Amino acid sequence: MLAILGGEPAFCEALHVGRPNIGKRARIASRLNQILDSRWLTNDGPMVKEFEARVAEVTGTAHCVAMCNATVALEIAIRAAELTGEVIVPSYTFIATAHALQWQQITPVFADIDATTHTLEPRAIERMITPRTSGILATHLWGRAADVAALQEIADRRGLTLLFDAAHAFGCSYHGEAIGRFGLAEVFSFHATKFVNSFEGGAVVTNDELLARKMRLMRNFGFAGIDRVDYIGTNGKMTEICAAMGLTSLEDMPEFVEVNLRNYRAYRDELTDAPGLALLEYDEGERNNYHYIVVEVDQTKTGLTRDELVAVLTAENVLARRYFYPGCHRMEPYRSLFPHAGLVLPVTERVAERVLVLPTGTAVSDDAARTICDILRTAIAVAPEIRQAVSRRAMVTST
């Protein structure tokens, strides 16, 4: 019996979306000892330099500028690219993508997404361009690339700067070419929840030497040498300990991919005939990190909403996520600034109500993935009982 109906939870220990991949502890400890022995803890030390070199190698780019986190990396990339006025972004993204613009008094203009890829829809971008538009900040989502060719064509034709938020897409490819090489620059996240992590961290990769030079100045208060400041800047440096974790994660990338791919295939096989659950599929001809197990819920076939399925899974100690719900345009300050934005974002709003992200990574076995699928199928089979149980829980919580 399902836990929400009075049975015992399927899992004693909670399975989380985004639970960190740790990698080889002995290698982390060894690097930590090197750092402590050197007494070089931050300020562009040898671990950061090595991490930047390895990231540039993986992405096939000329320059990697490591940062303390991806939000600061976005802010610095935006400022170094000299974006102004308005920049077109998806609303279906993490709030930091919009905040990195608004923080610098640049207006994020939300364009709709493609129903299949969940990334910016090129025709929607065209409709949102105004004389104040200076750029496009697109996202690669779930490790799958945006429509790079179409976006670059629009940017070139309309005289716009194209940047990519590639937080989900480290180690992935577009038409066989590594993500990181597109637009003026691409920004990666190495937050703890990401495929490769550095505890906290981010990086901008680019083939533009001038842009890289400006970003290096900007992440270190504008210092170009001792007692010499050449540019306005902030403190965006990555620490040595974060770089050490990042290097260890990079070494373990093949293992992470293997585990994620195994779990993805287990979910795919188990959910093939599950009514109303459509698993987002990956092109195995491209390189992918398979770090996101994304399901769209069709309530007309499941008999249950996405949120009711979240409640079922939570009762079983499976902490699934409603990713990017309810959309940036429905969060502050954008909800107040653009109260009618939803009128031009119908696909965004539909996807935000349907997406369910399930646990994967090295903390999840393929057997656990199959059990999660069993829970979902069972819940759909007894949908009326589940709806009553969720309703009762909601009433208890509200009182």
CA–CA gap between residue 196 and residue 174 (Å, rounded): 19
CA 255 vs CA 23, 24, 251, 308: distances in Å: 9, 11, 9, 34
pLDDT on residue 398: 58
Q: Which of 52, 218, 205, 50 is nearest to 140 (CA)?
A: 205
pLDDT band at 284 (very low <50, low <70, confident <90, very high): confident
In this predicted structure, the answer to whether residue 399 has a pLDDT above a threshold of 60 is: no
* Superfamily designation of domain 253-320+359-398: Aspartate Aminotransferase, domain 1 (3.90.1150.10)
Residue 153, pLDDT > 70, answer yes
Mean pLDDT of the chain: 96
DSSP-assigned letters across all residues of 78-126: HHHTT--SEEEEESSS-HHHHHHHHTTT-EEEEE-B-TTT-SB-HHHHH
Closest CA to 117 of 88, 93, 99: 93
One of 3.30.450.40, 3.40.640.10, 2.40.50.140, 3.40.190.10 is the CATH number of 25-111+119-251, namely: 3.40.640.10
Amino acid 395: pLDDT: 62
Write the CA distances from 283 to 113, 132, 145, 286, integer angstroms.
19, 37, 11, 6
Amino acid letter, 161: T
Question: 201-255, pLDDT tens digit by residue?
Answer: 999 999 999 999 999 999 999 999 999 999 999 999 999 999 999 999 999 999 9
Query: By the 8 A CB rule, do 233 and 220 touch?
Result: yes
Average pLDDT over residues 162-181: 98
Task: Summarize pLDDT for 319-361 with one digit per residue, the tens.
Answer: 999 999 999 999 999 999 999 999 999 999 999 999 999 999 9
What is the structure's pLDDT at 325? 97
- In 3D space, the residue among 32, 59, 57 whose CA is nearest the CA of residue 47 turns out to be 32
pLDDT at 393 over 90: no
- Assess whether pLDDT exceeds 80 at residue 150: yes
What mean pLDDT is predicted for residues 242-270? 97
pLDDT over 70 at 175, yes or no = yes
Residue 359: phi and psi, rounded to 5, are -65, 145
pLDDT band at 397 (very low <50, low <70, confident <90, very high): low
Domain boundaries, the chain: 25-111+119-251, 253-320+359-398
Strands 293-297 and 161-165 turn out to be unpaired
**Average pLDDT for 173-202:** 97
Q: Which of 265, 290, 259, 252 is nearest to 373 (CA)?
A: 265
pLDDT in tens, 305-318: 999 999 999 999 99
CA distances to 5, 311, 315, 392 from 389, in Å: 7, 10, 11, 5
Hey, what amino acid is at 97? T
DSSP letter (8 states) at residue 239? P
pLDDT tens profile 106-142: 999 999 999 999 999 999 999 999 999 999 999 999 9
Please, are residues 167 and 187 in contact by the beta-carbon 8 Å criterion? yes
Whole-number pLDDT of residue 354 = 98
> What CA–CA distance (Å, rounded) separates 298 from 306?
8
Question: Does the N-terminal peptide bond of residue 20 adopt cis geometry, omega within 30 degrees of 0?
Answer: no
- Label residue 1 by pLDDT band (50, 70, 90): confident
Give the gyration radius of the chain's Cα atoms.
22
77: confidence class by pLDDT, cuts 50, 70, 90: very high
